[in-house]
Structure 1
Amino acid sequence: MRRNIPSLQSLICFESAAKHSSYTHASQELFITQSAVSRQIQQLEEYLGVNLFSRTRHGVELTEAGKQYAKGIKPYLQGIEKSTADIMTHKGLGGTLKLGVVPTFATRWLLPKLHKLNTQHPEITVHLETSTKPFLFNENVFDAAIFAGTQQQIEHWPGIQAHYLMDEEVVPVCSPALIQNRLPEAVMQNEHSYDLSDEELLLMPLLQQTTRPSIWQEWFQAHQIQHPKPFDGQRHELFSMLSVAASHGMGMALIPQMLIESELNKKELVIASSKKLQGSRKYYLVHSSQDISPQIQKFVDWVLQELHQSA
């Protein structure tokens, strides 16, 4: 059965003209004449039975139908371009994997290990982009994602298969100088940590995470500590930002220990208390439940293997 799809050339001309709001700029980008662009778009409008552009004093602008159509076809044209580049690059023997990943996990856990994936599977090229929110895989945004969230979020994320990676267990950390200045009598438990008393913890300034404004309150409540101002302190969005602020003596932060091993080893940060908080958030590797590619399956197997070896 013949597919109800207009010509690819007309779609390419339309996308370029929509992007620039100009037939002239589209012709320059595509190395064809302006009249050729106009003719392709006219044929597309006739095929669709709607006007995609309206004339203005300064050129053309998208109609509401044009805006809707441009938004709809863009990811599919990008998908065709990506698939074409993949097959030309890898000759059918591998491919690229576009991975969405939470920012600090990407820089602190995944990136330092990717050379192992390259050694084990040189046919796979991984492109990383940060992402902190769920999305729909049928929008062709990512092939897979490493996501930190709740079980409820995973259950209500349509069309995915999720692989549990690990719990998120946060610990209170700060610079050793901050403890030495505020609590000169405090004694280290080992080279990486103190175990401050409840009273000593109350003397430490706090650093807050903007995306989780109640995390310190949850930590204090979990350990039955009555803090008068659990929401006070500077606010930063990412764990990596909290780590830098804490290492410069600006306060005590709650950060997953696996994300700050480098700072602990360099003694830029120390664990302030043995009290931990295992929250509802967990790390998952997620991908579409449909048409799992060999690249995705190899990446899933590799990540689970790395976690097993480091456990």
Structure 2
Amino acid sequence: MLMIIRPPNIQSLQTFLVLSECSSFTAAAERLHLTQSAVSRQIQLLEEHYGVTLFKRSARKIELTAEGVGLLHSAELIFRELGNVEKRYSKKIRPFRLKIYASLAMRLFIPLLNQFAADNPGMSLAVETETDLIYGDLAQYDAFVSYKDAAAITQEDWLLFAESLIPVCHPQSVCAKPLPTRLEQLPDYTLLHGSMNGMDWERWSLSKNLWLDPSQAQIFFNLDELAIEAALQGAGIAMTDQRLVQGLLEDGSLCSPFPSALQTDNAYVLTFKKGGDAHPNAAVVKRWLQQHLCADH
């Protein structure tokens, strides 16, 4: 009879294997596309599950304890067998997995899908969107878009576009009123935010030496796309990235009452998984995305 057990989280075991190989929380975090604290937490959960200490930690290095060595042998066997099962039953190449912010997917990526299908017949994609700028576990993705300080961009990141904030609204009326022509008129209009913290409007207004009235009517969304759609309906003035609305500005669906954009110190970048875990179609997808989506290629 099969003994029913409560196994540990498979991701914790995978983190344990990678950390054992790297002997460094920093290197393991980079390989798994996690934060160091997330790696540390996964190991902590594993140690709590088995009730043993798996690593000896010092200022300079970490090394396996006797219990850790024992678990390493078992974990290697488990993952070797899981790999064999994957090879045996996975007849079809899995889709290339891309993680991207929802508004970028809708405004920039989806319009390219017909071209992608024409250029890469038969190739499958799995696109997962996120509304929060802070991602969780990225190890399962073959490529992902992230929002970074420009100073933190590395050689492994491909620039999509630098952030450039601009206010946009319906070209004829806003809140059933004519468009504002002076910054001093902004308190008379509803401000639309593409995030719940409202930081984009605050950053833009401060760059114009303008203090927003806290009693002013405002609508907060958790997605740029929703703020843009509200602006298209004349519900207020949205603050968003110029790249997201460039097409709408060019065809006249939106306009900017104050077209002076704020160039921030942030950017959106595309990063691909490294090493032997790369998807079989990674090179093809990488070239295509760099050609059609990235600003510097």
TM-score by length of 1: 0.60
Partners of 1:171 and 1:277 within 8 A in 2: yes
Cα offsets for 1:40-73 (capped at 9, x unmatched):
x59x99xxxxxxxxxxxxxxxxxx738xx9xx99
Q: Secondary structure at 1:141's aligned position in 2? A: coil
* C-alpha distance in structure 1 between counterparts of 2:114 and 2:86, whole Å: 24
* C-alpha distance in structure 2 between counterparts of 1:205 and 1:249, whole Å: 10
Asked whether 1:306 is paired with 2:292, we answer yes
Comparing 244-253 with 220-229, greater Cα deviation is found at 220-229
Which of 157, 173, 180 is matched with 1:178 structurally? 173
**Which position in structure 1 is the counterpart of 2:140?**
141
Cα offsets for 1:210-249 (capped at 9, x unmatched):
3442221210121223443498511111001111222222
Structure 1: gaps of 5 or more residues = 1-34, 46-63, 187-195
Q: Secondary structure at 2:281's aligned position in 1? A: helix
Cα offsets for 1:254-287 (capped at 9, x unmatched):
1123323454466443222211122222111112
Partners of 1:216 and 1:231 within 8 A in 2: no
Partners of 2:158 and 2:294 within 8 A in 1: no
Partners of 1:97 and 1:296 within 8 A in 2: yes
**Which position in structure 1 is the counterpart of 2:91?**
88
* C-alpha distance in structure 2 between counterparts of 1:273 and 1:163, whole Å: 30
CA gap of 1:257–1:308, structure 2 versus 1, over 3 A, is same
Query: How far off its partner does 1:144 sit?
Result: 1.1
Comparing 199-208 with 140-149, greater Cα deviation is found at 199-208
**Which position in structure 2 is the counterpart of 1:65?**
49
Structure 2: gaps of 5 or more residues = 9-47, 51-70
Partners of 1:213 and 1:231 within 8 A in 2: no
Query: How far off its partner does 1:150 sit?
Result: 2.1
Cα offsets for 1:63-107 (capped at 9, x unmatched):
x738xx9xx99xx79x859954995125xxxx5211110111011
**Which position in structure 2 is the counterpart of 1:233?**
218
**Which position in structure 2 is the counterpart of 1:122?**
121
Asked whether 1:296 is paired with 2:282, we answer yes
Identity of aligned residues (%): 19
Q: How many correspondences in the alignment?
A: 232
CA gap of 1:134–1:153, structure 2 versus 1, over 3 A, is farther
* C-alpha distance in structure 1 between counterparts of 2:289 and 2:86, whole Å: 24
Which of 133, 156, 162 is matched with 1:167 structurally? 162
The aligned amino acid for 1:256 is D
Asked whether 1:216 is paired with 2:219, we answer no
Q: CA RMSD in A?
A: 4.1
Partners of 2:161 and 2:295 within 8 A in 1: no
TM-score by length of 2: 0.63
Cα offsets for 1:113-141 (capped at 9, x unmatched):
0222222222531100113424454xx42
Query: How far off its partner does 1:308 sit?
Result: 6.6
Which structure would you say has the larger Rg?
1
CA gap of 1:104–1:84, structure 2 versus 1, over 3 A, is farther
Partners of 1:178 and 1:249 within 8 A in 2: yes
Q: Secondary structure at 2:188's aligned position in 1? A: coil
Cα offsets for 1:150-174 (capped at 9, x unmatched):
246656xxxx932222112121011
